[in-house]
Amino acid sequence: MNIEKDTAQVPSPFKGIGAKLDAGISKGLNKITGSALMPYQAAIVRIGFALTFALYLIREWPHRLELYGTTNPWGFDLAQRLSNENGAFTLLLWSNDRLWFELVYNGTIVASLLLLLGWHTRTMSLLYMVGVLSLMNRSVLLGDGGDTLIHLVATYLVLTRCGQVWSLDARRRERAAVMGRGGSDPVRVALWAFFAVALAAAQVTGFAQFWPRWGLFLWGWLFTQALWFWAERRRSSQLRGVLDVMANLIHNAGMLLIAAQVIILYSAAGWFKIQGARWQDGTALIYPLHLNYFSPWTRLSHSLGSNSLMVTTITYGTVFVQVAFPFTLLNRRVKNVLLPIMMTEHAGIAVICGLPFFSMAMVFADSIFLPTSFLRWLGWRVAVARDDMIERWRRLRRRGDPQTAGAGAGV
């Protein structure tokens, strides 16, 4: 009997496992390089954070000079000294002129609204990030947790392809595909050219004041856009394929960073609450409910703070939800149940404590974990409501038109 021959015929139990592992790795690599994942989640984060910051700036427009402008108590010299120490980027330290401040402040509002609509999202996401950093790094003593989250997410949105759906860019691409038109958009090229000329002029004249890494980042972004434009004009499929793979990888990394940021936020908040005595005896909730600053509805706040059962439920419920949230991501059903609870809690904070923008930032950050099927349904409902409003507006215009009304009466 040939023992070696019989042994060779016995299949190895690890052979099938290795093949499955290789197939899984190949499938995963093809998935993260072949497409930009979570397009609807990226769109809702883009819309939500752009809307939140735009509404915040519009609400604070009458007080903009005291908050970020020339009459800010945190003086220009103090802000420059701090920026030189920590290397924080802000356009508002390039000049202390009132006109320059108005340009940056109102330009950030415009960039936020255009990013909300999804108009040239690559450029607007960069301008949105520059505006957010410029305002927040000018007055570091202002803001709360919501502002910090906006600060972080604004830097991550630049990495994402957040205009794939629910945007004017997506509508323009659909129309171009239907009409058989290709090539680059002249408006996009004009925006890049203007940005490059403005950046070069600011550096040559010495008006720009930022650390070298920010200059490399901005010029690198412009170089990438120019390379993309060149690949489109040359119709180079290989170069375009490489750029698409890189863009997909960067997008997926950006979405992973946003999700990880939310997980870290809830984990750190939950575990710190467990260690603190203020959240064990309910003082952390009762104290702000009796402060005028956090009590826009005084009767509601006092009635809630005087109910020991409600205080205990909300206190321990908040700690439990924040600690459990990262673990619920392992189970889709549990996660889909917990997300509405967390969003409802933030909505309650907006009403009871008078922190609408903090709550908006947290709700839209949580939306990255919403299921795609729900977001598609939500988009469909919004589209139906939009079409109904347009149809009603057209009917009202027809009724108000004398010629149309006369023709209808004659019939």
Is residue 339 pLDDT above 90, yes or no? yes
Q: Which two structure tokens, joined as six digits, stand for 165? A: 């759906």
Nearest to 166 by CA among 178, 176, 177, 174: 174
Question: Given this model, what pLDDT does residue 410 score?
Answer: 44
Q: What percent of the chain has pLDDT over 90?
A: 45
Which amino acid is residue 7, in one-letter code?
T
Confidence of residue 12 (pLDDT cuts 50, 70, 90): low
Q: Which residue has the higher pLDDT, 7 or 100?
A: 100
- Rounded distance, CA 363 to CA 341, Å? 11
Domains of the chain, residue spans: 259-391
Burial class (CB in 10 A: 0-12, 13-18, 19+), 90: buried
- Rounded distance, CA 170 to CA 85, Å? 42
Q: Which two structure tokens, joined as six digits, stand for 203? A: 């550096």
Per-chain mean pLDDT for the chain: 86
Is residue 388 pLDDT above 60, yes or no? yes
**Sequential DSSP letters for 159-183:** TS-TTSSSSHHHHHHHHHHHHT--S
Residues in Cβ contact with 91 at an 8 Å cutoff, skipping those fewer than 6 apart: 100, 104, 130, 134
| 187-246 pLDDT tens trace | 888 899 999 999 999 888 888 876 678 888 899 999 988 888 888 777 767 888 888 899
Whether 45 contacts 116, CB under 8 Å: no
Q: Which residue has the higher pLDDT, 292 or 179?
A: 292
| 241-270 pLDDT tens trace | 888 899 999 999 999 999 999 999 999 998
Mean pLDDT of 274-287: 83
